[in-house]
C-alpha cells in the first residue's frame, strides 16, 4: 500500500522549508511530499509535512491557527523585518518599561490589519514577492486582516523582549514585530522565531530530522486526527461509493454552514467534502482511499 499521511517535523534554523521537503523525499524515497505553513530559513519549529495522497490535504492544515515565540530587537530595522536583511535604520533609544510594552501589545490583540513583508513568499500576480525583489522589481502588497488570538509579553532584556503569539492563518510575525516597534516609536525587527504549534501539530510531539531519519516510514501518521478543526459529516453508508467516485449526495436536512467538512461513512474517514446550501448537497473535494475507521 502506498505511503500516505502527515509527519510532525521540527525544522532546524538554517534550512528552508523546501530543504526539509527534499530531506523527507530522500529518506522515504517518495516524490509526493509537501509542507504546510512555510517557515523562514532562520526560524525553527513545527513544520507539518504531508506524504503521498495526504499531500492533497495540505490546504486544510494551512487554515488552522498557529502559535509562536518571537524575540523583538529594538533600535534597528531591516528591509526584510528580521536580522537577515539589509539595515535600513539604527536608532539610539531608551528601553521602554514593561507598562509601555504592554500598552503597545494591547493594540494588536484581536482582528488587525497587517501588510505582509515584501521579502516573503506571498504571491503577486502569480510570482513570489521575494523573487520579484531579487529581480529588481518594486512590490506593493495590500494590507490584509488577520486575528491575533493571544499576544503576551514573556520576558524583557537589554535592547528587546520576547512575546508569545497565537494567531490566525496568514499572519506574518515579522510584520507584527515591526508594527509593535512602530507603536513604541522605535525601529524594530524579529531576531528569533520558533513555531510552537500548527493546529494539532505541537512542538512537544515533533521529531528532529535525526529522529525522523531513524524512524523512516514509521513516523508517518494517519491524516484524519490533524483535521479535527473541520466539522464532521456522517454520510449515509449507501452513498460511500458515490462519494469516493466524486458524486454529490443530497441532504436537505443538514444544519451546518458551507465550508470544508470531514466526511465519514460507518466510521470510515472518506476525505474532505463541502456542503452547498444552494444545491442542498454534500460534494466531495478530496477523496482519501484506504482511510482508517474512527
- How far apart CA 160 and CA 155 sit, in angstroms, is 9
Cβ contacts of residue 87 below 8 Å, gap of 6+? 76, 77, 78
Cell of 275: 456542503
Residue 48 · residue 226 · CB < 8 Å:
yes
A 10 A CB-CB count for 52 gives 18
Maximum separation of any 2 CA atoms in the chain, in Å: 71
- How far apart CA 234 and CA 9 sit, in angstroms, is 31
Task: Determine which one of 19, 40, 238, 251 is catalytic.
Answer: 40
Q: Which residues pair with 110 in a beta bridge?
A: 148
**Is 179 labeled as catalytic in the residue annotation?**
no
Q: What is the SS3 assignment for 34?
A: strand
Run of H or E including 217: none
Q: Compute CA distances 293 → 58, 85, 235, 265, whole Å.
A: 21, 49, 14, 9
> What are the counts of helices (DSSP H) followed by strands (DSSP E) for the chain?
7, 18
Residue 7 · residue 221 · CB < 8 Å:
yes
What does residue 120 show for φ and ψ, rounded to 5 degrees? -150, 175
- How far apart CA 76 and CA 113 sit, in angstroms, is 23
List the catalytic residues.
Answer: 40
Amino acid at each position: 500500500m502506498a505511503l500516505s499521511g502527515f509527519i510532525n517535523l521540527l525544522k532546524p534554523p538554517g534550512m528552508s522549508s523546501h530543504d526539509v521537503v527534499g530531506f523527507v523525499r530522500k529518506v522515504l524515497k517518495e516524490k509526493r511530499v509537501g509542507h504546510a505553513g512555510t517557515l523562514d530559513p532562520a526560524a525553527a519549529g513545527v513544520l507539518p509535512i504531508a506524504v503521498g495522497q495526504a499531500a492533497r490535504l495540505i490546504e486544510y492544515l494551512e487554515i488552522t491557527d498557529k502559535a509562536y515565540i518571537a524575540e523583538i530587537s529594538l533600535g534597528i530595522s531591516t528591509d526584510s523585518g528580521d536580522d537577515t536583511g539589509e539595515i535600513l535604520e539604527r536608532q539610539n533609544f531608551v528601553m521602554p518599561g514593561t507598562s509601555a510594552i504592554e500598552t503597545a501589545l494591547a493594540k494588536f490583540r484581536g482582528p488587525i490589519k497587517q501588510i505582509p513583508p515584501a521579502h516573503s513568499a506571498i504571491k503577486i500576480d502569480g510570482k513570489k514577492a521575494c523573487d520579484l525583489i531579487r529581480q529588481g522589481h518594486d512590490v506593493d502588497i495590500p494590507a490584509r486582516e488577520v486575528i491575533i488570538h493571544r499576544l503576551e509579553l514573556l520576558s524583557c532584556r537589554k535592547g528587546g523582549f520576547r512575546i508569545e503569539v497565537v494567531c490566525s492563518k496568514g499572519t506574518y510575525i515579522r510584520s507584527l514585530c515591526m508594527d509593535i516597534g512602530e507603536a513604541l516609536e522605535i525601529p524594530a525587527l524579529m531576531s528569533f522565531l520558533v513555531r510552537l504549534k500548527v493546529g494539532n501539530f505541537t512542538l512537544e510531539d515533533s521529531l528532529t530530522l535525526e529522529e525522523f531519519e531513524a524512524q523512516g516510514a514509521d513516523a508517518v501518521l494517519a491524516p484524519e486526527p490533524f483535521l479535527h478543526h473541520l466539522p464532521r459529516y456522517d454520510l449515509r453508508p449507501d452513498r460511500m461509493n458515490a462519494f469516493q467516485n466524486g458524486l454529490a449526495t443530497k441532504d436537505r436536512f443538514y444544519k451546518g454552514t458551507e465550508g470544508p467538512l470531514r466526511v465519514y461513512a460507518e466510521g470510515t474517514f472518506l476525505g474532505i467534502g463541502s456542503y452547498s446550501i444552494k444545491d442542498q448537497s454534500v460534494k466531495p473535494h478530496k477523496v482519501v482511499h484506504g482511510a482508517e475507521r474512527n
